[in-house]
């Protein structure tokens, strides 16, 4: 089922393909969890479908392309199509490495097994390091005939300008909350999706891959832990150890949410109106010191999230975070 907020992109890509105007390289710039990889997979099936559109050939049934039923569509959907390569960071890493990009380039240079397109998807493409990006540049500059390269990224500014300038950009924004909830109910069944999105942000694809009850439970547990730490009644060492052991990225998101709520309370607006972005700390003269400290903690949490690949002791970093919370003794917002 095509998510409603992606339907306009689907329709534009279909028209471009039918008119023979599909570029060799797409950069899907997505809001995190908004479905960039879904759209990339769809575009791959569109060009690989054995019953679907062919460029230049008028088709009365363009809406039914890709058919989603032929062997090509099925194989592509299950990641088993010989002409489709999906590159993600390897399990032990958060980066797409140069060897992977070289493998992809070599694969794209071969003739398509099915005589049509060859498709490469890089996701998240902004996890390529500099060497990997340079290796990709060669393929982007001289793409083999019948190549579709799709880069999915939520922070494309991390990619070199030489890469960006060679891709046609597709901007996938986060859907409305109601659209996201409706899609989650339709694809995953009933659940407290409102609350799950409250924790994860409007990131329906992330929510779809999660256990909704588990997310809500962890959010409540982290909330309790932070309230205790702020009241000075918790045990930061035990808490940090427990949090570092399981679901740490989700827990850090929950800590981020908790701090953001407090910052909103502190600037006096209640919920919903202050967008808190990294690096923009709207401190004005006369505002409480608490706010500055809260922003400091928020930065620390974001650094910890960003440093997942780095060899730091996560337990210790968390513990120090909880201790500084305890030391501040924030009043509840």
Please tell me whether residue 215 binds Zn ion under the rule CB under 5 A.
no
| Residues 267 to 306 in contact with Zn ion, rule: CB under 5 A | none
Cα gap 61→70, rounded to integer Å = 15
Judged by CB under 5 A, the number of residues near Zn ion is: 6
In the complex with Zn ion, the residue whose CB is nearer, 63 or 275, is 63
In the complex with Zn ion, the residue whose CB is nearer, 13 or 122, is 13
In the complex with Zn ion, the residue whose CB is nearer, 31 or 67, is 67
In the complex with Zn ion, the residue whose CB is nearer, 73 or 196, is 73
CA separation (Å) from 284 to 56, 82, 273, 280? Answer: 60, 58, 17, 12
In the complex, the smallest distance separating the C-beta of residue 74 from Zn ion, rounded to whole angstroms, is: 8
In the complex, the smallest distance separating the C-beta of residue 146 from Zn ion, rounded to whole angstroms, is: 17
In the complex, the smallest distance separating the C-beta of residue 316 from Zn ion, rounded to whole angstroms, is: 52
Contact between residue 261 and residue 219 where contact means Cβ atoms under 8 Å apart: no
Contact between residue 215 and residue 250 where contact means Cβ atoms under 8 Å apart: yes
In the complex with Zn ion, the residue whose CB is nearer, 73 or 128, is 73
In the complex with Zn ion, the residue whose CB is nearer, 44 or 226, is 44
In the complex, the smallest distance separating the C-beta of residue 18 from Zn ion, rounded to whole angstroms, is: 15
In the complex, the smallest distance separating the C-beta of residue 80 from Zn ion, rounded to whole angstroms, is: 14
In the complex, the smallest distance separating the C-beta of residue 309 from Zn ion, rounded to whole angstroms, is: 38
In the complex, the smallest distance separating the C-beta of residue 66 from Zn ion, rounded to whole angstroms, is: 5
In the complex with Zn ion, the residue whose CB is nearer, 48 or 108, is 48
- Look at residues 177, 174, 84, 91 and name the one whose alpha carbon lies nearest to residue 122: 84
Give the number of other CB atoms < 10 A from CB of residue 216: 17
**Helix, coil or strand: residue 26:** strand
Cα gap 78→88, rounded to integer Å = 15
Contact between residue 52 and residue 44 where contact means Cβ atoms under 8 Å apart: no
Contact between residue 185 and residue 158 where contact means Cβ atoms under 8 Å apart: no
| Residues 43 to 102 in contact with Zn ion, rule: CB under 5 A | 49, 51, 66-67, 70, 73
DSSP 159-199: S-HHHHTTSEEEEEPPPPHHHHHHHHHHHH-SS-HHHHHHH
Contact between residue 14 and residue 65 where contact means Cβ atoms under 8 Å apart: yes
**Could you list the residues that contact Zn ion (CB under 5 A)?**
49, 51, 66-67, 70, 73
């Amino acid at each position: 089922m095509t998510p409603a907020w992606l339907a306009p992109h689907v329709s534009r890509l279909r028209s471009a393909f039918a008119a023979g105007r599909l570029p060799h390289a797409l950069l899907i710039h997505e809001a995190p969890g908004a479905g960039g990889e879904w759209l990339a997979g769809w575009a791959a099936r569109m060009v690989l479908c054995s019953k679907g559109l062919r460029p230049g050939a008028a088709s009365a049934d363009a809406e039914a392309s890709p058919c989603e039923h032929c062997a090509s569509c099925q194989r592509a959907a299950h990641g088993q199509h010989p002409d489709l390569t999906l590159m993600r960071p390897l399990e032990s890493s958060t980066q797409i490495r140069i060897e992977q990009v070289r493998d992809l380039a070599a694969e794209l240079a071969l003739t398509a097994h099915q005589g049509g397109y060859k498709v490469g998807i890089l996701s998240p493409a902004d996890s390529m390091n500099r060497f990997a990006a340079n290796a990709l540049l060669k393929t982007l500059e001289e793409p083999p005939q019948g190549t579709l390269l799709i880069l999915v990224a939520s922070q494309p500014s991390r990619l070199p300008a030489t890469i960006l300038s060679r891709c046609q950009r597709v901007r996938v924004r986060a859907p409305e909350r109601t659209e996201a909830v409706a899609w989650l109910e339709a694809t995953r069944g009933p659940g407290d999706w409102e609350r799950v999105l409250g924790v994860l942000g409007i990131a329906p694809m992330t929510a779809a891959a999660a256990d909704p009850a588990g997310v809500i439970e962890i959010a409540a547990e982290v909330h309790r832990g932070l309230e205790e730490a702020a009241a000075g009644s918790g045990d930061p060492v035990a808490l940090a150890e427990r949090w570092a052991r399981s679901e740490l990225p989700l827990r850090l998101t929950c800590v981020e949410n908790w701090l953001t709520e407090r910052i909103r309370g502190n600037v006096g607006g209640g919920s919903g109106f202050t967008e808190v972005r990294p690096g923009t700390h709207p401190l004005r003269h006369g505002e409480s010191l608490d706010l500055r400290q809260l922003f400091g903690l928020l930065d620390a949490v974001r650094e910890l999230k960003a440093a997942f690949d780095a060899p730091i002791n996560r337990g210790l970093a968390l513990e120090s975070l909880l201790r500084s919370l305890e030391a501040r003794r924030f009043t509840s917002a």
